[in-house]
Amino acid sequence: MSTFKNLIVFGAHGKVGQNLVKVIAKSSVKATAVVRGDEQANTIKKISSESSNITSTKLDLADASVSDLAAAIKGHDAVVLTVGSGGKGLLQVDLDGVVKAFEATVEANVRRLVLVSAIFAEHREVGIQSGLRDYYIAKHYADRILIDEFGKKLDYTIIKPTNLTDESPTGKIKLIKTLTEDLGSIPRADVAQVLFDVLNFQETFGKSYDIASGEKNIDDPKTYQ
């Protein structure tokens, strides 16, 4: 079992990202939260005020070069990408920005990367039916590029949550295997816990998981088999 102790989190100011920062702040792991400006940095400082292991750095994933991103990533031992443009910059952030981060992770000689995508993003029909077609297109191709182009260069895990809620965490999930299953929902706090826990589960390297609330413990490696 690997032990990653120094993370960099892209999308740290998003709803899942903030939950992840809170999880990290309660651990012994250090993390750099990537934010776009002072207001976001202040939010990160506030939600991690009881911990000294969270710092922030200002960087815009859409505008930053691969070299800029690599410089930020260098010195960390794992990358978490939980980014989302909110529909205002799908190509610049959810697709190109994320792919630049893949390239930068390789350039920085870091192998471990965890990416948040969308449930069944590999199936175009899901995106068509979701009402978020452009969002799904961006996620679909970012995932494909990670798997096809970077699959041998990065120890990646793709986490694809179903409908997100702000309910209290349950600590439990299920893996959704087929399109015919009830997709249900999942608290953002549980998604954040998944992102944190799977970092050290080698069983998840090179794999993708569609997740919803369920009955299996998030912190059990067997959940992801």
Catalytically active residues, by annotation: 135
211 DSSP β-pair partners: 161, 175
Beta strand 172-175 pairing with 207-213: antiparallel
From residue 145, give the alpha-carbon distance in Å to each of 70, 82, 86, 98, 126. Answer: 18, 16, 21, 10, 19
Specify the 3-state DSSP secondary structure of 211. strand
Q: What does residue 138 show for φ and ψ, rounded to 5 degrees? A: -60, -45
In terms of Cβ atoms closer than 10 Å to its own Cβ (0-12, 13-18, 19+), residue 60 is middle
Task: Find all residues with CB under 8 Å of 135, minimum gap 6, and list them.
Answer: 87, 90, 94, 118, 127
Measured in whole angstroms, the distance separating CA 106 from the mean position of its chain's CA atoms is 17
* CA nearest neighbour of 139 among 96, 168, 194, 200: 96
